[in-house]
Structure 1
Amino acid sequence: MRHLYVHVPFCPSICPYCDFHVLTRRAGLVERYLERLGDEARELAERYEVALDTVYIGGGTPSFLRESEIAALVGSVRRHLGWGREENTLEINPGTVSPARASHWRALGFDRASVGVQSLHDPTLRFLGRTHSAAQARAAVGELLGQGFRVSGDLITAVPGQPLEDDIRGLVDLGVGHVSAYTLTIEPGTEFARRGVEVDEADEHAGFFLAGERLAGLGLARYEVSNYARPGEESRHNLAYWHGRTYLGLGPAAAGHYPARPEDGPGLLTVRRTNPHLHGWLRGERGETLPIDPEEYVTDALFMGLRLKGGLDLAALSARSGLDVPARYGAGLLHQAGRGLLSWEGNVLRATPAGWWTLNRVLRDVLAQGEEAAL
């Protein structure tokens, strides 16, 4: 197991668009979380052979933890599972950054910062419920770069009234080497959903293609549907997800992808396990397990691999899964290639920019044809 995700569920406030497992801190809760985290890390170390290349601490707002708390978290990870040899990322809210805190994070071994900038336009930030200002975001990115972090900045697109071009140029001008640009999505159960906020489809479309065009012009190439980087600045941890590799999940609501064992059931390649939310996790309750057989493995690989600019190798996927992917899904894939949504050359299958925009719909059609072919 070469990759580890750790979920920190605590936030200073809950953004109205957020549907992750997050909550505000209460007396004693972080202490209980840290104690259980150490126990779970030890359990994972006993169950799997671990040699980590990447660690990603996400949330929530991990940078909201106090210095002693983040040090205890890192200490548990290092003690039981080790530390990433290639990349160690901390998700950071700009409002939590100070020179002393940035120096502390760096000293703990973090070398990459994923910063939730979201916008450099104060009215947009207020609409999104963010507690930081544009000035704080600029100062935070500058401080982190000065401390030697590789910095990625998050942007949210398709926000009403957002000056997206200014946001893009402003963020790149700060010196970040990586940008993640996500369309504002209204998820059920969020504050935005309760308020009846809607996202205009034309704004979604315009933001998606504008981000790709402007970021490419500024030297950050799109290497995944929503992610852009200068050469060598790609997220090595997230690439593990998109390439379908196994990884450990640590913490409440954390998901992990694990090699299948005989006790998991016959004919399985891997299993996905998702931990329960905080209070169930603190009680040691078992989470959900999803068995991954060859067909499910191929489905996951298509949905994840086609998000990448480089696509995926169908011969390698067939070898890994034991399923003849071109034979099963070839008709559907060729149909979508004829529509200009996929490109299939030799063994390599890629989505075109137009295909990226409708990727879920494209793959649902391909899989439906594959199921018919199997009957």
Structure 2
Amino acid sequence: MSVPAPAPIRHLYVHVPFCPSICPYCDFHVLTRQSGLVEQYLAQVEREAERLAAEYPVELDTVYLGGGTPSFLRDSEMAALVGSVQRWLGWGRAENTLEINPGTVSAERAAHWRALGFDRASVGVQSLHDPTLLFLGRRHSAAQARAAVEHLLAREFRVSGDLITAVAGQPLEADIRGLHELGVGHISAYTLTIEPGTEFARRGVTVSEADERRGFEVTAALLAELGYERYEISNYARPGQQSQHNLAYWHTRHYLGLGPGAAGHYPAAAPAVSMRRTNPHLHEWLAGAQGEAELVTGHDWVTDALFMGLRLRTGVNLAELSRRSGVDVAREYAPAIRANVERGLLVQEGQQLQATEAGWWILNSVIGDFLELDLARP
């Protein structure tokens, strides 16, 4: 009896760590460019892409270039990076996203990126209010952000605009309406979070719970009024504008991670359900280090899948989680499900489990109830 071929991996994340400057709230693996580093990065991307192609069957549906500031790469550098990806791994059949800083966009560059094969742009607008941008350490202006979106839409990109909420003094409603009036089909709205080790943390910047709650509620209400569907806690889309790549994350699909600091989620042999691997930071990665691999077993995989899947409006299907993990999810996690349904934080209809808006607000606490059951297992 022949063994079935492993299913191909259909999603690729590429990390570009270079930024023109480091924002005071950022805790990603980013650095300013230095002489020779980009050239070394591009050469190592080629080698790693070749290795991934040899190790896994790949038929890409989505590609996502994130960072960092991928659009900070010069045109020739971007062409080389895309060439390496396409040569060894192919290109996304459904969606190819480029993260873009508004200050890097011109009509000519938008045309160049479109010609390379990108069809979706995730633009780090953050705000359309210059004082808010100044506080956030952004180097672009509101006018530059508007012009960037217009250039990209003119080249028929599907455009997503990022907003940061819960900034004191931010005119949030004006920011939201401004993006809507520009014509973006997707908006990602994230609460300003002060992470340890960032400049904001060192400066003692805080975010009030009142501002956080207001941002959460105003964003949801106004974007619903404007015709955007909230399909994930922080993401809103017009029909057909959902991020197919990010949906792969939230549905716990396998994906390749390429580049320094990039995370990947890979198939694994039983009894493991999958393997997660995060690449080391730039200098170790340039030396050929591959990072540590972590095998994910049944119950750990389930709690990961719940944490990701309950972020979605549609939630998770318990039977599907059981099939993929080998764990009877409905039975083994029944106490956590029942308790959170009674508290109004989850809703269960048959095998479908969804978070309510109240549950979204404290999702970490909800998932904590599932983790407690894992910790209590013999």
Partner of 1:92: 100
- Match of 2:76, SS state, is helix
- Match of 2:161, SS state, is strand
Partner of 2:31: 23
Letter in 2 for 1:331: P
Instruction: Report the Cα offset of residue 369 of structure 1.
Output: 3.6
Letter in 2 for 1:194: R
Equivalent-residue separation in structure 2 for 1:294 and 1:369 (angstroms): 13
Matched, 1:194 2:198: no
Partner of 1:223: 231
Instruction: Report the Cα offset of residue 247 of structure 1.
Output: 0.2
Instruction: Report the Cα offset of residue 138 of structure 1.
Output: 0.4
Whether the 8 Å CA contact 1:38–1:77 is kept in 2: the answer is yes
Instruction: Report the Cα offset of residue 289 of structure 1.
Output: 1.5
Per-residue CA distance 1:157-194 (angstroms, 9 max, x = gap): 00011010110111111000000000000000000000
Number of residue pairs the alignment of both structures matches:
370
Partner of 2:355: 351
Letter in 2 for 1:179: I
Letter in 2 for 1:254: A
Partner of 1:282: 286
Partner of 2:272: 268
- CA-based RMSD of the aligned residues comes to 0.8
Per-residue CA distance 1:7-34 (angstroms, 9 max, x = gap): 0000000000000000000111000000
Whether the 8 Å CA contact 1:329–1:367 is kept in 2: the answer is no
TM-score by length of 1: 0.98
Partner of 1:105: 113
Matched, 1:48 2:52: no
Letter in 1 for 2:114: R
Instruction: Report the Cα offset of residue 366 of structure 1.
Output: 2.9
- Match of 2:58, SS state, is coil
Matched, 1:322 2:326: yes
Matched, 1:293 2:334: no
- Match of 1:203, SS state, is helix
Alignment of 1:1-375 (within 5 A): 1-261=9-269, 267-369=271-373, 371-372=375-376, 374-375=377-378
Equivalent-residue separation in structure 2 for 1:198 and 1:168 (angstroms): 23
Equivalent-residue separation in structure 1 for 2:294 and 2:203 (angstroms): 34
Instruction: Report the Cα offset of residue 367 of structure 1.
Output: 2.7
Equivalent-residue separation in structure 2 for 1:214 and 1:288 (angstroms): 43
Identity %: 69
Equivalent-residue separation in structure 2 for 1:279 and 1:65 (angstroms): 19
Whether the 8 Å CA contact 1:38–1:76 is kept in 2: the answer is yes
For structure 1, the 5+ residue unaligned runs are: none
Equivalent-residue separation in structure 1 for 2:218 and 2:313 (angstroms): 17
Equivalent-residue separation in structure 2 for 1:311 and 1:170 (angstroms): 30
Per-residue CA distance 1:196-221 (angstroms, 9 max, x = gap): 00000111011011111100110111
TM-score by length of 2: 0.97
Instruction: Report the Cα offset of residue 288 of structure 1.
Output: 2.0
Instruction: Report the Cα offset of residue 362 of structure 1.
Output: 1.0
Instruction: Report the Cα offset of residue 222 of structure 1.
Output: 0.4
Per-residue CA distance 1:345-370 (angstroms, 9 max, x = gap): 10000000010000011110233145
Equivalent-residue separation in structure 2 for 1:49 and 1:29 (angstroms): 30
Whether the 8 Å CA contact 1:332–1:367 is kept in 2: the answer is no
Which stretch of structure 1 is more off in the superposition, 250-259 or 278-287?
A: 278-287
Equivalent-residue separation in structure 1 for 2:374 and 2:88 (angstroms): 43
Whether the 8 Å CA contact 1:332–1:370 is kept in 2: the answer is no
Letter in 2 for 1:255: A
4+ aligned runs moved over 4 Å, structure 1: none
Whether the 8 Å CA contact 1:54–1:87 is kept in 2: the answer is yes
Equivalent-residue separation in structure 1 for 2:370 and 2:342 (angstroms): 13
Letter in 2 for 1:229: A
Whether the 8 Å CA contact 2:230–2:236 is kept in 1: the answer is yes
Instruction: Report the Cα offset of residue 371 of structure 1.
Output: 4.3
Equivalent-residue separation in structure 2 for 1:268 and 1:328 (angstroms): 18
Per-residue CA distance 1:296-319 (angstroms, 9 max, x = gap): 110111000000000010011111
Equivalent-residue separation in structure 2 for 1:225 and 1:338 (angstroms): 21
